[in-house]
Structure 1
Amino acid sequence: MNAAEELAKQWETLHLTKEESLCFHVQQEATRGHGNLCIVGKELVEKSVNSKAFRVTLSQVWRLEGWVKFKELGDQCFLLEFQKMVDKEKVLSGRPWFFDRSLLALQEVDETILINVLQFAYESFWIQLHNPPLATMTKLFGEAFASSIGPVIRVEVSANGHAWGRCLRVRVVVDLHKPLM
């Protein structure tokens, strides 16, 4: 009998005890958290981040109405809990954020996802389309052009769908694992 067959035979003899085979069922009420006031962030940097400087600097830059609590999750990942929803929305809408010249990727909390499987693959950025012909300074053109980069969130235009200025601004979701075009 070879080693693989011997190992398979030993595995067949293993069994869970009655106590070990009991299931644990989570009640629906126990899973309700406060994730609606939280964001998960990851500093996309190779070196470790000074967590105290990170907390102090971002708290000052954001100028929030209420408090924000930072909880380290490991691997440059943080849970940010806000006192007020308006502060959470301000931080999300002000993206992208950088600390120590590195991108801080943010995402809404999904309480059903395990912390160790969170992926920070996308981040939204404002892009500027400079010097297009005046006739193309429209919402339709901005959406069509910027969709080649990623999903378009918003084109900064007036109520009639036109923009006048030096550039056409478009907010786009960028895949962080792909090179920019």
Structure 2
Amino acid sequence: MALLERAVVGKILGRRVSFFLLKAEIQRQWGRFDEFQLTTMGFDCFICIFSYVEARDEVLCGGPWFIGGNLIGLDRWSPDFSPTSMEGLSSPVWIHLPNLPLLYWDDDNISRIASRIGTPLWIDAQTGNWGRREYARVCVRMNLANKLQAGVWVNG
């Protein structure tokens, strides 16, 4: 169905929010991209259909997105989507890499280490400029169906 090609499915991770709050927050955060139709699917899932595929892609590539302090997991709509599963849902998440030896303090190594958690998207400006030494800060796109790792061991 062509309509659903422009759709994003989302799952609210955390406490329940009202439809009124969901709609108001999504309008505030995503209204700049395009007009959309919003429908809920159960108490923690929703589908948002945009007028253009480009707007859907802007939402999927942006974030992380929060509704009422709750993280939102997103994915393109597919016939396999299930409101009872986290499969396919992802979100950008900022992670810290504390106690990183200076030997590994460059974009390639930081990205390689962060890729053990998710797909690296951005390195914090302070990290890239060596402005902060307590930890490196990286935004990764995490698959929310995977178990969250407590950490990653780096040689050295």
- TM-score calculated relative to the size of structure 2: 0.71
Structure 1, unpaired ranges of 5+: 1-31
Whether the 8 Å contact between 1:65 and 1:84 is mirrored in structure 2 is no
Q: Which residue of 1 aligns with 2:118?
A: 151
Give 1:128 deviation, angstroms.
Answer: 4.0
CA-CA distance at 1:84 after TM superposition: 2.6
* Cα contact 1:71–1:79 (8 A) shared by 2: yes
Pick 1 or 2: higher relative contact order, CA cutoff 8 A, min separation 6. Answer: 2
Query: Following superposition of structure 1 onto structure 2, how do residues 91-170 of structure 1 map, counting pairs within 5 Å?
Result: 91-110=59-78, 112-113=79-80, 115-116=82-83, 118-120=85-87, 122-129=90-97, 132=100, 135-148=103-116, 150-156=117-123, 163-166=128-131, 167-170=136-139
Q: Which has the larger radius of gyration?
A: 1
| Length-normalised TM-score, structure 1 | 0.63
The CA RMSD over aligned residues, in Å, is 3.1
Provide the secondary structure at the position in 2 that maps to 1:74.
coil
Kindly state the Cα deviation for residue 146 of structure 1 after the two structures are TM-superposed. Answer: 1.6
**Between the two proteins, what is the percent identity of the paired residues?**
19
Aligned to 2:13: 44
Query: 1:10-49 residue pairs with structure 2 within 5 A?
Result: 32-46=1-15, 48-49=16-17
Q: Deviations over 1:89-119 (max 9, x none)?
A: 2222222211112111111111x31545543
Separation in structure 1 between the aligned mates of residue 112 and residue 123 of structure 2, nearest angstrom: 14
Matched residue pairs, number?
144
Distance 2:22 2:52 in 1: 20
| Consecutive unaligned residues in structure 2, runs of 5 or more | 151-156
Asked if 2 retains the 8 angstrom alpha-carbon contact of 1:137 and 1:168, the reply is no
